[in-house]
Amino acid sequence: MAKISPVEFFQQVRNETAKVTWPTRRETLITTAMVFVMVLIASLFFLVSDQIIQFGVSQILRIGH
């Protein structure tokens, strides 16, 4: 593998970075909001699932008493 100088490396990095299509501020805010909504939905789903499973297990364990 050929070694390149640090200056050349950073020039290549800068050229590649210029090719990237960066999201707009609006796109970033919308995507962030969507992530928070999905986290909230997942949290509620797992909360409800956990409560149902806890209720079921507690009912099964009370049968013997």
Residue with tokens 């050229």: 15
* CB-side neighbour CA atoms (13 Å) of 14: 6
Please report the pLDDT score of residue 57 as a whole number.
Answer: 94
Which amino acid type is present at position 51? Q
Please report the pLDDT score of residue 51 as a whole number.
Answer: 97
Rounded CA separation 13/6 (Å): 10
Task: Output the tens digit of pLDDT for each of the chain's 65 residues.
Answer: 778 899 999 999 999 999 999 999 999 999 999 999 999 999 999 999 999 999 999 999 988 66
Please give the model's pTM, rounded to 2 decimal places: 0.65
Please report the pLDDT score of residue 65 as a whole number.
Answer: 65
